[in-house]
Structure 1
Amino acid sequence: MGKSALLFCDNITEGNIDFLSRMPPPIIKKILSFVNAEGISNLACCCKKISEICSQDNTWGDVYRRDSKESLNK
């Protein structure tokens, strides 16, 4: 197992594991559906995986449709 496994176990017991970035993309997208635009921008800075999901056009389209009264096609 080695030192990396021990470090991983230590991090779990101390609550230092980032569970959000370990979730599958559909779950992250569902979580993002409850977050405002500023929050999504902030989350995009936390790690590469979440940044890629936050940067997708359909993520921002969903935010626009949820928060705006205007049509995307105007």
Structure 2
Amino acid sequence: MRGDSEILRLIDNRYIDPSKSQSSPGDISNFPIASTEPGKRLFDFKALKIGVSLIEFEFYSTVENHGNVSTLYAGVSVE
């Protein structure tokens, strides 16, 4: 495992609301991080484009809310 910020550069990050058309992703700020609401978080990393088989997210902090902005801290490893 290694951490590599360039290979893990996020290309796309979308939230799909199951109550809406699957072809129209919702605003990512509405993603239910700490709830049981259904939904999908879609990631597209540069690493996946070049054949990396596993990306692990290790959440190490709770969500911090700052007004309308929520931040979830995570560590990322690539195999």
| TM-score bin (small chain) | under 0.3
Q: TM-score, normalised by structure 1?
A: 0.26
Higher share in strand: 2
Q: TM-score, normalised by structure 2?
A: 0.25
Higher relative contact order (CA 8 A, sep 6+): 2
